[in-house]
Amino acid sequence: MPVVVNPIKFGTDGWRGVIGDEFTFERLALVAPIAAKVLYDTYFSTVGSRTIIVGYDRRFMAEDFARVVADSVTAIGFDVLLSDSYAPTPAFSWAAKQLNALGALVITASHNPGNYLGLKVKGAFGGSVPPEVTKEIEALFTIGLPPVATRGKLEYFNPWPSYTQALEGKVDIRKIQDALASGKVTVFADVMHGAAAGGLSRLLGEQVREINSERDPLFGGGAPEPLPKYISRLFEVIKTHREANTTGLAVGLVFDGDCDRIAAVDSEANFLSSQILIPILIDHLTLRRGFSGEIVKTVSGSDLIPRVAALHNLSVFETPVGYKYIADRMLVAEVLLGGEESGGIGYGSHIPERDALLSALYVLEAIVESGLDLGEYYHQLQAQADFNSAYDRIDLPLANMEVRSRLLTQLQTQPLTEIAGLAVINTQTIDGYKFRLADNSWLMIRFSGTEPVLRLYCEAPTLDQVHQTLAWAKQWAE
């Protein structure tokens, strides 16, 4: 087979590209069977199965791309269970484990803009495969596979019932439903035109008020990412609700395009990222559910996370950015919760996979059982931990990969000793460069592995200081 000139590159979770450019039917038909073969080589000895789960989200022609995956995988002798509808990525991870499959191939581009599509590869254990597996897929892509005489069989399945049943068993679903029915809590779900559509309603009933639920491959001109700039409609809906309803709590839950990442909005229309939700969830799950275990955070996670963990005598393990590193830890340690600043949160009592619907249920349970608005809950935790801070992040496009290389060389050869007028007291290089400053605030500089983008993260005592530090970092980069 001729060598493929244009290789593929997996990022922190999957291979993604612009539809019709890098991401095409032809390239997908080449990579999917290779991914299936590597899943077989990696997990067959554990599961003894030749079945691959194939699923998809609601992006442009996602079901058509999924059919190409199914056809190309059956063509080399593997059996395929192809989803009969869109569903959250974690539903397919759950199906891989629950149905004893080799793994799952999911057509999704997660939070990327609408002109992107991609392929996520999940292992038999129910989570993202480790880097050595994706590296093997990349290597084999340039070689190809020999033809196989016997085709596998193709069957369809509904991924929703088993998945939602599993989630229902992890919370007091009746108590949440009663709170919604009585008006004690009003829930708005911004599904961002993505695969979370209908999810909370399946679990909690029609009292869930869903917005942006129609399929829109252009995502309203934005991107299905749980960030303030993309959820203006949710802010307006909650403000209007608050003006008309002075009793009861309101919460907005925001899901990314394939429903594995979450953010929230409180009754006062304040945005709450996972930097805020993770400490709340740690407190709720230990205090009211009696959970224990290690807390796993990425290097970009808030300093409040280890402080709240300390309140409950829980140890903390830190990883590079990317949920696959958290999943790796979940496979070898007793983990209560693992989370990343971009919205991915998973639980040791579930599968080693971030799951936004399960996180939403736990958040609602925390509100119902504490009687606190999310913002109020967060402020109470800050007081208990004696820690107040603000956080923000910006993604800075660079002119090209050469600029990226120059900045990286500069960081390596000319280490920063002062940032925005504050001395650097410690530098961490587990993933990028995280600079701890004299007032205990921090700035993290991290480069995208696949595109000319510089990611800048900062946590400091005030939002003004955060923005000043990020502005300094932006000026340094430019």
- pLDDT of 143 over the 50 cut: yes
pLDDT band, very low/low/confident/very high, at 439 (cuts 50, 70, 90)? very high
Q: What proportions of the chain, in percent to the nearest 5, are helix, strand and coil?
A: 40, 25, 40
Rounded average pLDDT over 289-308: 96
- Position 450 confidence tier, pLDDT thresholds 50, 70, 90: low
Averaged confidence pLDDT in the chain: 94
- Tell me the residue type at 141: F
Angle between helices 304-311 and 374-385 (to 10 degrees): 80
What is the arithmetic mean of pLDDT over 376-397? 95
Q: Determine the pLDDT at residue 324.
A: 86
Sheet arrangement for strand 335-339? 316-319, 294-298, 335-339, 345-347
Longest Cα separation, the chain: 68
| Element holding 297 (H helix, E strand) | strand 294-298
449 closest CA partner among 297, 296, 301, 322:
322
C-alpha closest to that of 327 among 318, 311, 338? 338
Q: Between the CA of residue 249 and those of 186, 252, 282, what are the distances in Å?
A: 6, 10, 21
pLDDT digits (tens, 9 = 90+) for 240-278: 999 998 789 999 999 999 999 999 999 999 999 999 999
Which residues lie below 8 Å from residue 337, measured CB to CB, with a gap of 6+?
A: 278, 281, 282, 285, 293, 295, 296, 345, 346, 347, 348
Cα angle 41, 62, 126 (rounded to 5 degrees) comes to 40
Whether residue 18 has pLDDT greater than 80: yes
pLDDT tens-digit series, residues 180-199? 999 999 999 999 999 999 99
Confidence of residue 4 (pLDDT cuts 50, 70, 90): very low
pLDDT (mean) for 331-358:
96
Mean pLDDT of 339-362: 96
List strands edge to edge, sheet with 262-265: 209-211, 185-190, 249-255, 262-265, 271-272
CB 352 within 8 A of CB 331: yes
What domains are defined for the chain? 15-160 (3.40.120.10), 169-385 (3.40.120.10), 390-477 (3.30.310.50)
pLDDT of residue 452: 82
pLDDT at residue 279, rounded to an integer: 98
Q: Would you give the DSSP letter of residue 226?
A: -
Check the CA dihedral 182-185-191-196 and report its sign: negative
| Cα–Cα separations (whole angstroms), residue 76 to 66, 70, 73, 104, 149 | 16, 10, 6, 16, 8
Helices (H), 77-153: 89-98, 131-141
Residue 443's pLDDT band, with cuts at 50, 70 and 90, is: very high
pLDDT in the model for residue 6: 80
Confidence band, pLDDT 50/70/90 cuts, at residue 142: confident
Q: What is the pLDDT of residues 405-416, one digit of tens each?
A: 899 999 999 999
What 3-state class would DSSP assign to 220? Answer: helix
Position 1 pLDDT exceeds 70: no
Report whether pLDDT(93) > 90: yes
223-227, 324-328, 440-444: range with lowest mean pLDDT: 324-328
Please give the average per-residue pLDDT across 458-474, as a whole number. Answer: 96
CA dist 363 and 157 (Å) reads 30
